[in-house]
Chains A and B, each alone.
Chain A
Amino acid sequence: MRLQVPLLITFLGGVFMAVQFFVPHELGQTAFAELLNWGRIVAAFALVLGIQSLLRTHIEKIRRQREDWHYSAVAIAAFVLMVVIGIGFGHGEGSGFDWLFRHVQVPLDATMFALLAFFIASAAFRTFRARSTEATLLLVAAIIVMLGRVPSTLLVIFGDTGAGQWLHATMPDVSEWIMNFPTVAGKRGILFGVALGSIATALRIILGIERSHLGGGGGGE
C-alpha cells in the first residue's frame, strides 16, 4: 500500500496532465488550473519546511560555534530583519523593505552575476585550446561571434582603415549567420534528444517503471 497509492496517484495525475493538453474544453482547462493551484498550495507548505531547514542549519552552526559561524549569525539576522520589516511595515514603494531590496539585494545580486565576467575570462584563457580540428573550428567560431557582438573593437584593432571598416561592417553579419544556422542546427539536434529523453523519463515515472524516488523496488541497483 505504501508504494501502490503513490504510484496510482502518479499514474492518474500524469495521464490527466498529458490528456488535458489535447482537450480545450472548459472543464479540462478548469481542472488543469485547479491542479496547478494545488501545486502552488503544496509548494507554499513546503516553504515552511525550507525555512525550518534554513534556520535549523544555521542555529546549529552557531550553537556549536563551528568554523565561520559568524556568517550564520549574519544570515539569520538578515532573515529576521527582512521578515519583520516586510510583514510589520509593508513592502510597498518607499518602505524599509523596498529600501533594503534596492540597496542591499540589488547590488549583491549584481555583484554575484558580475563574477561571471571574471570566470569566463579565466576559464577561456585556461582551457580554450586548439587541440584538435574540432576545437580549432569552435575557437574560430567563438572569436567571430565575440567580434560580431562588439564590432567596434575591430576599429580599435585595425584603426579606421579600409580593412577595419570592412570587418566592422561584415563581422556582425557573419556572427548572425553562425548563430542562425550552425548553432541552431546543433541546438535542435540536442533538443530532439532532450525532448525524447524527458518524455521517456516522464513515461517511466508515470508507468511506475522508475520508482527509486519512492524507495524500494524497480530502478534500484
Chain B
Amino acid sequence: MKTTRLWAIGLSVLLAAPLCLAQAGLPTNLQAADDPEEPRGTQMIVSWDAPEEPLQIPGMEMIGHRILVRRVDAEEWQPSPLVPPDATSAPVADLKPWPWPEWEIGIRPEYQLAGAPAAVFRTMGWPMTSTVAAPVAEVGPVRPEGNWFNTDYTNVLVLTLLFCTIVIATIYYVRGRAEEIYIRPIAGLEAVNDAIGRATEMGKPIVYVSGLTGIGDVATIAAMLILGHLARRSAAYETEVLVPCQDPLVMATEREIVRQAYTEAGKPDAYRPESIFFVTDSQFGYVAAVDGIMLREKPAACFYMGYFFAEALILAETGNQTGAIQIAGTDADTQLPFFITACDYTLMGEELYAASAYLSRQPLLVAQLRGQDIAKTLIAALLIATVAAATYAAVATGALADAAAQLVQWFTV
C-alpha cells in the first residue's frame, strides 16, 4: 500500500517536472490593490494578465490559479482557495492590518492529471494535483488600507453630534435656573413617597425588580438609578427593600448603590446586603421565585422598573393579587399594556429615563431634560419636513423634486 502511494506521488512529480523549468506560461503584470468594498482593511484585490501561451503539459490539465500570501518576513506561502483558470482577478482576504505588516502575494497555475487516471487516483484517495515546486509570480510588499470612517453613517454621526451638542449646551445655559423649569407631573413618581410611607406604616417590605436585561441595557441603568433614590428615602424610615436580581452584575452594582444610599441617609448600619440577592438567570425561573417572594412576604409596594418580556403580566398580576401598591416603568412597548392594566402607576418609555432627574431635581439633570425636549422638537420638525419632501419628490418633477429626493436619501440609513 505504502509503495503504491509512493509510486503515485512520484508520477505526479514527474508529470509536474516541466513546470519547475518553465517561467514562461505564468500570469504577467501581477498587481495588488486595496479592495474598496471592504472597509476593515483586511482584503486586497489581486489582478493579472493571462499568459499569451499558457503552459501545456501532456497528460495534465490546468485546474486554476492558486493565490498565495505571506508576510514579507515569512518563508512559507499560505495558500488561498483556487480561482478558475480563466479568471484575471481575485480577492485575497484575512490580511490583518494590525500591527501594520506588509504582505507579498503570489500566484501559480495548478495542474492535475487529466482523464481516467485522475478518477482512479481520486477514488483511491491519492494526490491528484501537482503543485510541487511550481514557479510563482509575485507582487509586494503591499498592504491593504482600512477605512477610518464609515461614510454610510455620516447622517447618524451628524444627528448624534447635533443631539449631544443641544443637550450639553442646554445643560450649560440652563443649569443656573433649573428650578424655574417646569416638569410635567408624573403620577407614578409622585406615588413613590406614598408607596414608601405605606410600607413603613404597614411594617412590610418593598419589592424592587429592575428588569430582565443585563447591565449593558440603558433601561437597567435607569432602573438602578431609580433604586438609588428609592433606597435613600426608604433608608430614612428603615423600610426594607427586597431586590431579587436576574443578573449577577446587576446585583453587585445594586448592592453598591443601596449601600451608598444608606450611608448618605446616615443609616449605614441598617444596610443589609442580603436584601439584594441573585435568584437565577432563567426567565421563568426568576418569575417563579419573585412570585413566591411576593406571595410569602405580602409586600406593601412592588416596583417593576427596566426592560421586561413576557413575564411582565405574571409579575404584575401576582403583585396585584397580594394587594400591593404597584408602580411600573418600562421602555418595552409590548409590555406597557400589561403593566398599565395590572399596576397602579406606569412610567411609559422615556419617563423611565427622566425619573432620576424628576426624583432628585438636581439642576444638571433637570437642565438635561430641557435639552432632550428641544432635541425631540427638532426631530419632530425634521420628520414633518422629510415627509413633506418625500411626498413632493414622489408627485413632482424638476430640480426641486430632485433636491427633495436627495434630502430624503440623506436621512436614509
Q: Do A and B have CB atoms closer than 8 angstroms in the complex?
A: yes
Q: Which residues on A are within 8 Å of B, measured CB to CB? A: 18, 21-30, 39, 42-43, 46-51, 53-54, 56-57, 60, 67-68, 71, 105, 108-109, 112-113, 115-116, 119-120, 122-124, 127-128, 187, 190-194, 196-205, 207, 209-210, 212-216, 218-221
Q: Is B292 an interface residue (CB 8 A)?
A: yes
Residues of A within 8 A of B146 (CB): 24-27
**In the complex, chain B residues whose CB is within 8 Å of the CB of A194:** 331, 333, 349-350, 353
Contact in complex: A213, B225 (CB < 8 Å): yes
Minimum CB–CB distance for B352 against chain A, Å: 7
Tell me which residues across on chain B come within 8 A of A18, comparing CB atoms.
Answer: 160
B157 within 8 A of A: yes
Residues of B contacting A204 with CB < 8 Å? 364-365, 368
Assess A71 versus B292: contact at CB under 8 Å? Given A128-B341, A220-B360.
yes
Q: Which residues of B have CB within 8 Å of A50?
A: 245, 247-248, 251, 278, 281
A216 touches B260 (CB 8 A): yes
B359 on the A face (CB < 8 A)? yes
Contact of A25 among B40, B260, B360 (CB under 8 A): B40
Q: Which of A29, A109, A192, A212 contacts B228 (CB 8 A)?
A: A212
Number of interface residues of B (CB under 8 A): 89
A sample of 16 more A-B contacts (CB under 8 A), given A25-B41, A212-B257, A213-B228, is A25-B148, A26-B40, A46-B252, A50-B245, A108-B288, A113-B284, A119-B342, A120-B338, A191-B333, A193-B349, A197-B331, A197-B349, A199-B160, A200-B353, A210-B225, A213-B221
Query: B338 near A123 (CB under 8 angstroms)?
Result: yes
- With both beta carbons as reference points, the residue of chain B lying nearest to A208 in the complex is identified as B364
Whether a CB of chain A sits under 8 angstroms from the CB of B60 is no
Give per-residue flags for B251-265: 1 if the beta carbon is below 8 A from chain A beta carbons, else 0: 111001101100110
Cα-based distance from A113 to B288 in the complex (angstroms): 10
Question: How distant is the Cα of A150 from the Cα of B351 in the complex, in angstroms?
Answer: 35
Return the chain A residue nearest B153 by Cβ.
A22
Asked if residues A27 and B98 are in contact (CB atoms below 8 Å), the reply is: yes
Nearest 7 CB-CB pairings of A with B: A50-B248, A197-B353, A215-B260, A197-B350, A24-B39, A112-B284, A50-B278
Interface string of B350-378 (1 = CB under 8 A from A): 10111010011110110011011001100
Best-surrounded residue of A18, A51, A105, A201 (most CB of chain B within 10 A): A201
B287 contacts partner chain A, Cβ-Cβ < 8 Å? yes
Q: Which residues of B, 271-290, contact A by the 8 Å Cβ criterion?
A: 274, 277-285, 287-288
Q: Chain A residues with Cβ under 8 A from B232's Cβ? A: 220-221
The smallest beta-carbon distance between B382 and chain A, in angstroms, is 11
In angstroms, Cα B163 to Cα A6, docked, is: 25
Contact of B313 among A123, A193, A197, A200 (CB under 8 A): A123
Contact flag A197-B352 (CB < 8 Å), given A51-B278, A203-B164: yes
Separation of A29 and B96 alpha carbons in the complex (Å): 12
Residues of B with C-beta under 8 A to A201: 218, 221-222, 353, 356
In the assembled complex, 28 residue pairs joining A and B whose CB atoms fall closer than 8 Å, in A order, are A22-B149, A25-B146, A26-B146, A27-B146, A43-B214, A50-B281, A53-B248, A53-B251, A53-B274, A71-B292, A105-B282, A190-B331, A192-B376, A192-B379, A197-B331, A197-B353, A197-B354, A197-B372, A200-B369, A205-B221, A209-B171, A212-B225, A212-B257, A213-B253, A215-B256, A218-B362, A219-B360, A219-B362
> In the complex, A119→B277 CA distance in Å?
27
Q: A42-B249, A43-B248, A192-B379 are known contacts. Are A24 and B349 too (CB-CB below 8 A)?
A: no
Residues on A with C-beta less than 8 A from B313 are 116, 119-120, 123
Within 8 Å by CB of A190, from B260, B349, B353, lies B349
Given contact pairs A197-B349, A220-B362, A109 touches B148 in the complex (Cβ within 8 A): no
Docked CA distance A130–B265 (Å): 45
Chain B residues, Cβ within 8 Å of A205:
221
Residues of A close to B359: CB separation below 8 A:
221
Within 8 A of A (CB), among B187-237: 214, 216, 218-219, 221-222, 224-225, 228-229, 232
- Shortest C-beta distance, A186 to chain B (Å), equals 8
Residues of chain B contacted by A202 (CB below 8 angstroms): 218
Q: Cβ of B97 < 8 Å from any Cβ of A?
A: yes
Name B248's contact: one of A22, A29, A47, A109 (CB within 8 Å). A47
B107 at the interface (CB under 8 A from A): no
A119 with B314: CB separation less than 8 A: yes
| Chain A nearest CB, measured from B190 CB (Å) | 15
Distance between Cα atoms of A190 and B348 in the complex (Å): 8
Q: Bound state CA distance, A75 and B157, in angstroms?
A: 50
**Are B350 and A199 in touch, CB under 8 angstroms?**
no
Q: Known: A109-B285, A112-B288, A215-B260. Contact between A200 and B356, CB under 8 A?
A: no
Instruction: Determine the distance from Cα of A27 to Cα of B149 in the docked complex, in whole angstroms.
Output: 12
Q: A213 with B218: in contact, given A25-B147, A53-B251 (CB under 8 Å)?
A: no
In the complex, what residues of A have CB within 8 A of residue B171's CB? 209
B296, closest chain A residue (CB): A68
A88 to B160, CA, bound (A): 52
Is the pair A219, B356 in contact by a Cβ cutoff of 8 Å? Answer: yes
